[in-house]
Structure 1
Amino acid sequence: MPTLDHKPQPLMIAYGRGHLPLLMPPEAEVTTIRKRALPKLPDKAAAIYRALEAEPIGSPPLSVLAEGRSSACILICDITRPVPNRLFLRPMIETMVAAGIPLDRVTVLVATGLHRPNLGEELAELVGDPWVLAEVRIENHYARDEAGLVDLGRTATRGTPIKLNRHFVEADLRIATGLVEPHFMAGWSGGRKVIAPGVAGHETIRTFHSARFMEDPLAVQCNLIGNPLHEEQLEIVRTVGECYALNTVLDEDRDLVCVTFGEIIASHAAAVDFVASSTRVPVGRRFKTVVTSSAGYPLDKTYYQTIKGMVTPLDILEPGGTLIMASECSEGFGSDEFRAAQQRLVDLGPERFLATLMAKTLAEVDEWQTEMQLKSLRLGRVELYTTGLDEDDRAITGVNIVTNIDRAIEEAMSRVGDPAIAVIPEGPYVIPYA
């Protein structure tokens, strides 16, 4: 007679390149929050062809756009975004070349913002196509290289300096590519965001990340209406002139479920319309204990990126509750500038640290992520489970470190006296709201 195993099965949340099991206490009342499942594309290559040639949005097909052009620049996101570049870069480039653009006049530009460059094996992983890597010019954007930037003045609305990468500005055909997902400041990633801050100069980026933008109540995930960052990005795109975009949407398995191409603003809006209803998940209540992830690799490579996952679930966290974050941090902490900002946070405390930011026109590099962390610290207790940070790193996270996530969940339940727990396996790719 078979033996029945009545042991509770663990929940799995995204962690590194795999998953982390969570074994809940027997008395736990668990609400698991996931995106609404979207139908997978049966033929990804055919879907990309349709987007580029048969169903472009607000523009002619790519083959027509490329006619008579002397050069092209294609922006791709850096390694922090799991964009399926391997699926579309070669078809795009071959279409351009067939239309008459010389192959040696096509540049693929990695939109690093102020992140480090992607080189070597990491660049090969990012591009995902050996032919593109071997045959096409690939460059990283360097936001602090003034010689590599073109000054286009300032925005009329808020005076943001507009300095952008020369390869992109001076190309005859300009195309941004990216992933449309919730972004905790700009509303949604992709489209215009790949240009600014993606290939913007450091002054542009540091203006975007100053307190006057980041403390604006409309600069939040999934909101474009009245969002000052989004409005500035649109003005910058219009200043540049003719731009196009290929936008992708992925499901929880990182499979392509939507691709749009066309005029940059219109094609991005179409992708946002597609994904918004599945990503924003109504929950109907708040919880005193919330467990979430940093969405796994590549978003949980550093503690810097981890903070995104600390902000996106705040609408369902009861004030004074506990937010437990799991993030591998396989690459460690982040930049030296971010480390310095975190040290100031620990030394000054949240209130004094924020006071130092409010008077600045330009934020210091990477201190904006520390500022975003304040939003979760103001609301409740934040705990971090990680296997990738050393003791020095852990000391300046500004949050409580836990070494056993199952025990941390049990202790959080006991501390608040409530068995109800919300679990968000895919972290910041899911936006729950009460």
Structure 2
Amino acid sequence: MKIELAYGRTGLELSVPDTVRATVVRKDTLPVPADPARVIEDALKAPVAARPLEEAAKAAKSACILICDITRPVPNHLFLRPIIERLTKSGVPLSGITVLVATGLHRPNLGEELAELVGDPWVLENVACVNHYALNDEDHVMLGETPTRKVPVGIDRRFVEADIRIATGLVEPHFMAGYSGGRKVIAPGVAHHTTIRTFHSARFMEDPLATSCNLQGNPLHEAQLEIVRMLGGTIYGLNTVLDEERNLIFTSFGEIIESHAAAVEFVRDSIEVNVGRKFPVVVTSAAGYPLDRTYYQTVKGMVTPIDILGDDGTLIIVSECGEGIGSAEFREAQKRLVELGPEAFLQTLLKKDFADIDEWQTEMQLKPMRVGRIVLVAPALSEEDRAVTGVTCRDDVDEALREVLAETSAREIAVIPEGPYVVPFHRAV
């Protein structure tokens, strides 16, 4: 049996031996609209729980539009110009419009990468397209603390002070915040580093409700909602949903919390897949380009399938990792994991109010490590990078599978071609 896995830009074929039964876990197929531009247009014309954008913009002199960074395959080319043209028709000057890349604590997207991200030369030529820098104190307005969990709140002043504020993004499973998009594009997207490092600390990360597809009682989600409310006024959200082939299948637009909830409601039944059992071997991916450019992002693909991985099972994950391990800070966290071991590493985190930058991803790697063994297929990783992954590394996915099958005598496996964009679970039916 041949199964195509998401890997880089080209994909990677997995060959499953005839003696092995493979359960392939995919999203439910949803209809693909013939005209994606019309989907955007219809959403902009019918805002959820908010007045029309054109009406809100009549007295405005400035606008800030947030977009996700290069790690998310958001179809910015479809909606940025239509949004900007609506603003200018209502009197907002082009010189007053900023497209702000919500980098969080990721690296900035510059040059050709920024052009790829924006996806529309007209936008680049006519409005300011800039990156958020979480470590620049002067770029932020400090708003106090969230009422419930006392998270210090700092948000990029270009967003805070704009007359019209719009957050755009992709609604997909997120292994900490439940679902991406909406409020998450603001925080951590354009938040101060103390905000990001607080709700990525162990008191949030170790909460069992901070998990994929869960919004009820999720401490990150609740903190993000409080931050939105602290900002006050109307914040618009434009939320996109893509299928496995990256086709736009749904868009919601309107008040940021309500429009995000509408997108989650649309996609939830497709993304959350009950397979009814656990497996001794699970083969998955890091979702291909752009998510699998680094090992840092690859961890997401390790976490989302653990509900169907049997105790002491083996998780095989493929990832291109063409940019290597990730940030220098993440490398240091991974080194500490390897040197200290999982339990001692976790104990160092529990003592902190502020997480060190990017160490939260290492903390998330502990979750699948508690369940079973991880085998990473990322031939582009250097030996130096492999040494700090803390997992078993192999160069070929077919050889890795054969090796695991020989060691375990397993004859049933689960395969998740799209990786963390699909969340399998094993609830009995």
TM-score with structure 2 setting the length: 0.98
**What letter matches 1:336 in structure 2?**
A
Superposed displacement of residue 42, structure 1: 1.6
- Structure 1 counterpart of 2:134: 143
Residue 109 (structure 1) aligns with:
100
CA distance in 1 between partners of 2:147 and 2:47 (Å): 31
Offset at residue 415 of structure 1 (A)? 2.0
1:367 equivalent among 350, 359, 362 = 359
Q: 2:407 & 2:55 partners in 1: Cα distance?
A: 63
Give the SS at the match of 1:31: strand
How far does the alpha carbon of each residue in 1:356-396 deviate from its partner, in whole angstroms, 9 at most, with x for none?
Answer: 00010000000000000000111100000012210000001
Answer yes or no: is 1:335 the counterpart of 2:327: yes
Please give the alpha-carbon distance, in whole angstroms, between the structure 2 residues aligned to 1:182 and 1:341.
25
Match of 1:70 in 2: 61
Using the alignment, how far apart are the partners of 1:83 and 1:157 within structure 2? 32
User: 2:300 & 2:410 partners in 1: Cα distance?
Assistant: 26
Correspondence 1:169-180 to 2 at 5 A: 169-180=160-171
What is aligned with 2:209? Answer: 218
The within-5 A match list for 1:17-166 is: 17-53=9-45, 55-166=46-157
Q: Which residue of 1 aligns with 2:411?
A: 419
Residue 184 of structure 1 pairs with residue 175 of structure 2: yes
Post-superposition CA distance 1:172-200 (Å, at most 9, x none) = 01000000000000000000000000000
The worse-fitting range, judged by mean Cα deviation, of 72-81 and 25-34 is 25-34
Report the equivalent of 2:292: 300
Q: Which amino acid aligns with 1:343?
A: K
Partners of 1:408 and 1:103 in 2: CA distance: 54
Task: Return the alpha-carbon distance in structure 1 between the equivalents of residues 51 and 420 of structure 2.
Answer: 34
User: Matches of 1:11 and 1:261 in 2, distance apart?
Assistant: 36
Residues of 2 paired with 1:201 and 1:304: CA distance? Answer: 21
Quote the offset at 1:64 in angstroms: 1.4
Q: 3-state DSSP class of the match of 1:18?
A: coil
User: 1:330, 1:387 within 8 Å by CA — same for their partners in 2?
Assistant: no
Match of 1:264 in 2: 256
Q: Render the CA deviation track for 1:403-428: whole Å, top value 9, x for unaligned.
A: 22112112212222221010000000
Aligned to 2:130, what secondary structure does the other structure show?
A: strand
CA displacement, residues 206-232 of structure 1 (integer Å, 9 cap, x when unaligned): 001100000000000100000000000
Q: Given residue 128 of structure 1, which amino acid in structure 2 is its aligned partner?
A: G
Runs of 4+ in 1 over 3 A off after TM superposition: none
Runs of at least 5 residues in structure 1 that lack an aligned partner in the other structure: 1-8
Q: Using the alignment, how far apart are the partners of 1:433 and 1:78 within structure 2?
A: 29
Paired AA for residue 365 in structure 2 = Q
Q: Distance in 2 between matches of 1:57 and 1:18?
A: 37
Residue 373 (structure 2) pairs with residue 381 (structure 1): yes
Query: 1:17 & 1:62 partners in 2: Cα distance?
Result: 36
1:391 alignment counterpart: 383
Q: Kindly indicate whether the alpha-carbon contact (under 8 Å) linking 1:295 and 1:426 is maintained by their aligned counterparts in 2.
A: yes
Contact 2:238 2:252 in 1 (8 A): yes
CA distances 1:325-369 after superposition (whole Å, capped 9, x unpaired):
000001111000000000000000001000000010000000000
CA distance in 1 between partners of 2:366 and 2:70 (Å):
26
Kindly indicate whether the alpha-carbon contact (under 8 Å) linking 2:379 and 2:394 is maintained by their aligned counterparts in 1: no
Gap regions ≥5 residues in structure 2: none
Secondary structure of the corresponding residue to residue 38 of structure 2: helix
Secondary structure, aligned partner of 1:15: coil
TM-score of the aligned structures, taking structure 1 as reference length: 0.97
CA drift at 1:25 = 1.4
Which residue pairs with 2:311 in the alignment? 319
